[in-house]
Structure 1
Amino acid sequence: MEFVLMGFSENPHLQWILFGIFLLMYVTILMCNSIIILLTNLDPNLQTPMYFFLSHFSFLEICYVTVTIPRMLMDLCTRKGNISLFACAAQMCLILTLGGTECLLLTVMAYDRYVAICHPLNYALIMNQKVCVQLVAASWISVIPVVIGETYQIFSLPFCGPNRINHFICDIPPVLKLACGDTFVNEVEANVVAVVIVTVPFLLIIVSYGKIISNILKLSSARGRSKAFSTCSSHLIVVVLFYGTASITYLQPQTNQSEGLGKLLSLFYTVFIPTLNPIIYSMRNKDILMALKKLKTNRLK
């Protein structure tokens, strides 16, 4: 009825250092993403589909880290990783749901850039408010039944052996290692879900950027090419970082994955990358920086 998350118990002398680092990262993620949400909703110049999707992406990042980091901080503080079976299943379900939603939302953002660059004259017509809301809603809702089914299948397995999860979150690979009996079918199901949620959106992003790059290279003006590339660069960096670590974690056979590597990769896509994402989007975006300066000026007045 209970698991024990081992977390970072192999480094007991670093517990409080890790606690300080993760707490700082969590506060940074909350502040930076909240600022982006505030700016994209208040500044009239940011009332475009691109920033509409960015505000939802920022909200998603806040939800994503809130599912994982507070639990990590509590375990580091108390040095106890006890977690009930239900709480473990709930955490896994939320992590997979939010991770899958992020995959789809990144795909939607790539499609938005494709329409903006390849069909600029019809951009406002194609990416109208109704379509934007529908795309965001579909990103949030479509993964839920798949993830609930996958989580139910995993936690329907008998767990009759050790209850210590050598991880800091309830993720698929470390939980499956504790299940009794043959988990081959569950591993196949997990890989199929990963292909549907991770690989298919990634291929759609590649197709979108293939057409975007082809269209940009046709531009005669060097300045026009530079401006077009700059509108896509932040999103492309985020895609590479997120998909790089997520694909290694979920698309390789679970038996071939070392526990240390799995834990390190999970740290990247659950903590480090969400910390970098708002910095990447804000520091490389003139409109965001301009809106931030305007907000500061108005507050000083």
Structure 2
Amino acid sequence: MRKKLTPLATVIIAGIFTALVFIFGNLRYQVPEAVATNHNKAETVVVNKLLANNEVDLNRFAVDVSAWQRPEDIDYNLMSQEIIGAIVRVQTGKSSKDNAAAYKNGEDRQFKTHITELQKRGVPVAVYAYVNGKNVEEMKEQARLFYERAHPFNPTYYWLDVEEVSMNNMSEGVEAFRTELESLGVKNIGIYAQDWFLNDHKIDSSHFSSIWMADYGRNTGMWDSSPKTTLSYDMHQFTDRGRLSSYGGHLDLNLIRTQEQYDKLFRNPQ
């Protein structure tokens, strides 16, 4: 049973209520100002200064990312401390299905954000393009689009991601893509592929300045084996189930074995 309030108690309660209304009324008008002030604060950027050293920690990996890894899900400050380099997808070809990761014109939706956020934190960035031209002319057009989109960011390397049979003579098509890039002034041009794909389609990897070999072994998220190949490669993508503290999902991780290879891929200016 509730107690009956006395007149004095009623006055006290009314006074408290009035005071609360006044306090919360003031807070109501102060919150937007506080929020606006917080919104206008300068962004905190943590630069990985260790990557400027003569030698880097090769026990850490390079990561390759695309718009499937959404910027809002990445702590770029933390990622910059966990990796020694990044390879960012620029396009999926000349055209694409309009989806969460690419526009209809093939452009990756988030490549500009990924590159900008990583570069300003001191991470060297290379770029890659998925190669799927249906003929020589389309391969050349893809190469031109790749260059136009990527070169303003001055990437350390241009990689051709070759894993799909999109025309009868893939060797001819891949070479057309490479030579078109070369004609535009690109010097550092590499190929990403698996050993069996290069052999089956007679793609001459010696025309490229570097090979990025894909071989997942048991694909545990950890490095557990080297590619079985006679080809000389500079970087090994060993899993698509890698984990970093800076991102909640799986990531492609890449191993670079020597300082000389690292310098070639991430410190060799165009």
TM over 0.5: no
- Bigger fraction of residues in helix: 1
Query: TM-score, with normalisation over the residues of structure 2?
Result: 0.22
